[in-house]
Amino acid sequence: MCKIGIPRGMFFYDYFPLWKEFFQELGIEIIVSSKTNKEILNLGISSCVDEACLPVKIFHGHVEYLKDKVDYIFIPRIMSIDRMEYCCPKVLGLPDMIRYSIGKLPPIIDTQINLRKSNNKYKKSIYDTGKLLGKDFWEIKKAYKKAEKSYERYIYLLNKGVVPIEAIKIYDKVFKDINYSSEHNELTIMVVGHSYSIYDEYLNMNLISKLMSNNIKVITPEMINKEKINRYSNKLPKRMFWTHGKRIVGSAFSLIEEQKIDGIIYLSSFGCGMDSVLVDLVERKAIKAEIPFTLLTLDEQTGEAGVNTRIEAFIDMMKWRNRDENNISAFR
């Protein structure tokens, strides 16, 4: 049986349930690279150009990890995933960048996903991908239908308040009993940033689980429904042309305006051009609404101790504030 490798990075965290179902339905074995670890990070750093952002470097590492284990590697060329919108230039060029910097690769399936103008092209790319793997029209159509279903289920879970790391775990069939966030959390924090930063637990040093183990409820952009994201991002004076950007700004704005959160942690990668604009938008909005905001900028040199101190201080600040509102003496 032919094996397709799926690197656990970049858009993996957005679309894995879709891809997985599609390929499996076509009777193809998929191999996902293991979770990011030190070895993968180091492989990525040594093969990728130095100027790239951390998520792109890590993605390189995942490809390195897979390249000798599979017959194909799936790296879709994601141009646009919504009408009149684009992805970051580094995402657009990802398959080329990989080909250029990593030697001895198996063939790359770089299905072009471009929904900027219409859906038809998208359908064609799906059929092309299936055909490449020797499948016929009806097989492909059926597989895609099923994949869409499972993707919808995934989105449904997210909108129900399951943090995507947990939701992906359900699909990995590793994790059985996810706890739907309880009502008894002392604080609710939004963790905002690109999906591949906030759900890669190695990259962000387990930020989400650290917060959750401190009895904090975590909300991420992917947990906000699309309609709401559109409504709130439309309030920007200028249209947001980046899909992730729209999601980040729209979800953050909605939670800020609805006063549903005690604080925001923005997780950014050093050197991310898109973030330099987004962080500013979110921060300003948060300050106006008097919601605590903090920015964590990560690269491969970031030390965990410093990050922990920041998170701790941030949590203290919010608890202190809440206690103050309840008129209990200032500190402790």
Binding mask 71-100 for ligand SF4 (x = CB under 6 A): -----------------x-xx---------
Of 68, 118, 308, 328, the one binding another protein (CB under 8 A) is 308
Query: According to the binding rule CB under 8 A, does residue 331 interact with another protein?
Result: yes
- Under a CB-based contact definition with an 8 Å cutoff, are residues 242 and 87 in contact? yes
Of 258 and 324, CB closest to another protein: 324
Q: How far apart are CA 272 and CA 90, in angstroms?
A: 10
Query: According to the binding rule CB under 6 A, does residue 286 interact with ligand SF4?
Result: no
Rounded least distance, CB 205 to another protein, Å: 9
Assigned token pair, 195 = 């999906």
Rounded least distance, CB 149 to ligand SF4, Å: 29
What amino acid occupies position 93?
Answer: G
Rounded least distance, CB 29 to another protein, Å: 22
DSSP string, 48-91: S-TTS-HHHHHHHHHHHHHTTT-SEEE--EEEESSTT-B--HHH
Rounded least distance, CB 20 to another protein, Å: 23
Nearest to 112 by CA among 69, 144, 81: 81
What amino acid occupies position 173?
Answer: K
305 binds, among another protein, ligand SF4, none (CB under 5 to 8 A by kind): another protein
Query: According to the binding rule CB under 8 A, does residue 330 interact with another protein?
Result: yes
Query: According to the binding rule CB under 8 A, does residue 176 interact with another protein?
Result: no
Query: According to the binding rule CB under 6 A, does residue 140 interact with ligand SF4?
Result: no
Who contacts 118 (Cβ-Cβ below 8 Å, separation ≥6)?
none
**Which listed range, 1-9, 49-57, 155-163, 216-224, lies at the site for ligand SF4 (CB under 6 A)?**
49-57
Q: Which residue is it, tokens 């099923």?
A: 146
Of 4, 26, 56, 249, the one binding ligand SF4 (CB under 6 A) is 56
Rounded least distance, CB 56 to ligand SF4, Å: 5
DSSP string, 241-292: -BHHHHHHHHHHHHHHHTT--SEEEEEEETT-HHHHHHHHHHHHHHHHTT--
**Which listed range, 95-103, 124-132, 210-218, 270-278, lies at the site for ligand SF4 (CB under 6 A)?**
270-278
Query: According to the binding rule CB under 6 A, does residue 192 interact with ligand SF4?
Result: no
CA distances from 173 to 29, 169, 275, 297 (A): 16, 6, 33, 32
Nearest to 246 by CA among 235, 260, 262, 258: 235
Of 220 and 269, CB closest to ligand SF4: 269
Query: According to the binding rule CB under 8 A, does residue 34 interact with another protein?
Result: yes
Query: According to the binding rule CB under 8 A, does residue 125 interact with another protein?
Result: no
Query: According to the binding rule CB under 6 A, does residue 55 interact with ligand SF4?
Result: yes
Q: CB neighbours (10 Å) of residue 242?
A: 19
- Under a CB-based contact definition with an 8 Å cutoff, are residues 127 and 112 in contact? no
Residues near ligand SF4 (CB under 6 A): 53, 55-56, 88, 90-91, 194, 269, 272-275
Q: What is the binding site for another protein (CB under 8 A)? A: 34, 37-40, 202, 206, 210, 213-214, 283, 290, 292-294, 303, 305-306, 308-313, 316-317, 320-321, 324, 330-332
